[in-house]
Amino acid sequence: MSTGRDIIEGLRGRLVISCQPVPDGPFDTVASVVAYARAAEASGAAGLRIEGDANVAAVVQASRLPVIGLVKRDLEDSAVRITPFLSDVIDLCEAGAAIVAVDATDRPRPVPVSELLAEIKRRGRLAMADISTEAEARAALAAGADIVGTTMSGYAGDAPPPKAPDLELVRRCARLGAPVFAEGRYNSPELAAAAIRAGADAVVVGSAITRPEHIADWFRQAVEGAARPLAPVLAFDIGGTKTLAALVQGETVFERRVMPTPADVGSKGWIAAIAGLAQGWDGRYERAAAAVTGRIDGDVWSALNPGTLAIPQGFSLTNVLGVALGTPVLAVNDAQAAAWGEYRFGAGKGRDMAFLTVSSGIGGGIVLGGRLLRGTRGIAGSLGQVPVFEPTGPVRLETLASGFGIAEAARRRGHDGDARAVFAAAHTGESWAQDTLRDAATRLAAAIAGLQAVVDPECIVIGGGVGLAEGFLELLRETLAVYPEAVVPVLAAADLGADAGIIGVADMAAAS
């Protein structure tokens, strides 16, 4: 006979399939549960999670896999549903369950968790505690649980459960030293694998395998949603000098309004002014999004270059703008949003690509495998922030090779004016202007060659007022020619121009 240690070791690094049909559905029969269990065993599952003592008894006879048994009840005086009574524990043990699962959440219940766990252990079975928090996991282990299951995460409160599984809870529980089974919303192979990488000893998957009604509904919603024309997205492009609001559908910009960006970021007046750009568009959009200069880390918006826009510390743009508009808001760095726009509809369409916008500053974004990389700190692709070591110390690349950098370099040569004036002088043959642009292109080319070596995209798309200025792309190609062929990228001019950011962020919001 297998010991508890043998059972846990046999489940480690393996898949457990929960064979629990939709209650009162066409598959809610003992015969169907047994058929599911046999199919799961034939497919390589290492264990089964079965509800109801009659189902457990039948599956134990039909399968060699260890069974996690539970009973579900809807009680009038408690929200606890999973194995709430001692009689349930006894019935499951007598039916042959190797592991008995109980709800171990910190909520009012008919029987204390400690008594349920003690009865399971007294009958020689393994005890699995279904919890929703790390504190509940600690309490259950202290009370004698052998296994912690993250089953109840997202289901023990009043709010609707999230769509994604709770990988962070898996990570925290894995540090406690006891076996952890990840369960709850692991509805794709990628998510199940992520749970193992997060520290889970096993992964329990149910609805995505054994509930055809749910699976069919997921596909139905996806198909019908894709077939239904989407309403335009209200998209903002918030920069250091100006703010654009537009209604965007796909790659089409229907209407647009522009104003100077107010300096008092985060004030009531600032929020009212930004939201006021959408006045009169009520009812014409269902989603809102903002492409913004600077860094988006979770909900917090902050400056990559504080000189561009003074953003208050800890400022949550998505929250305050969402309240003002009465709709959720997605916020993305403007260069990353532009990268997505060029990937979806522009010069990098459908290809692994990097995007660089060379304007007053330098920003960027990377799309690999159809996914926009945002990074753990929200700065993926921000090539302008790469340090360049000068005799005076490290400086940002954008300080040397952006529009502002070009103008500053020209002033050091004794010529005032912005980057446009430098380009104009270069086109008339002024050697100082040509040298200034070549210096900037040389700095940028070195960083681009490094980007190609690290990321190796199919192409690098160049945008921005400087990047698309007459002759600059050709100058970049010339300065790149000194590098080994392996790190010289395919350069392409951006197709979407200044609209890349709002088109990209609108497309991201439409898909969310």
Question: Can you give the pLDDT at residue 1?
Answer: 56
- Chain mean pLDDT for the chain: 94
350-384 confidence digits (pLDDT tens): 999 999 999 988 999 999 999 999 888 888 999 99
Strand 329-333 with 126-130, pairing: unpaired
Phi-psi region of 490 (alpha: psi -120 to 50; beta: other; left: phi over 0): beta
Q: For the residues 275-285, what does the mean pLDDT come to?
A: 93
Pairing mode, strands 329-333 and 287-292: parallel
In the predicted structure, residue 307 carries a pLDDT above the cut 70: no
Residues forming a β-bridge with 205: 17
Neighbours of 291 (CB within 10 A): 30
For residue 306, pLDDT beyond 80: no
pLDDT > 70: percent of the chain: 99
Q: Has residue 455 got a pLDDT over 90?
A: yes
Q: Residue 499's pLDDT is what? A: 94
Helix (H/G/I), strand (E/B), else coil: 480: helix
Query: CB under 8 Å to 381, separation ≥6 — which residues?
Result: 335, 336, 339, 354, 355, 363, 364, 365, 366, 373, 375
At 174 the pLDDT is 97
Band of the pLDDT at 390, cuts 50, 70, 90? Answer: confident
Which of the 8 DSSP states describes residue 52?
A: S
Let me know: does 337 contact 343? Beta carbons within 8 Å. no
What mean pLDDT comes out for the span 465-489?
A: 95
140 in Cβ contact with 152 (< 8 Å)? no
253 Cβ contact partners less than 8 Å away, ≥ 6 residues apart:
246, 247, 499, 502, 503
Over residues 312-334, mean pLDDT: 92
Cα–Cα dist 505/396, whole Å = 26
Average pLDDT of 15-28?
Answer: 97
Is the pTM higher than 0.75? The answer reads no
| Domains recognised in the chain with CATH numbers | 4-219 (3.20.20.70), 233-336+504-511 (3.30.420.40), 349-494 (3.30.420.40)
**Given a cut of 70, is residue 408 above it in pLDDT?**
yes
pLDDT at 183: 98
pLDDT at 325: 94
403-412 helix and 419-427 helix, angle to the nearest 10 degrees: 70
pLDDT tens per residue, range 201-224 = 999 999 999 999 999 999 998 898
**What does 426-472 look like in DSSP terms, one character per residue?**
HHTT-HHHHHHHHHHHHHHHHHHHHHHHHH--SEEEEESTTTTSTTH
Q: Where are the beta strands (DSSP E) in 77-159?
A: 99-103, 126-130, 147-149
pLDDT above 80 (res 432): yes
In tens, the pLDDT along 187-207 reads 999 999 999 999 999 999 999
The predicted-structure confidence for 216-263, as pLDDT tens digits, reads as follows 999 998 898 778 777 899 999 998 889 999 999 999 999 999 999 988
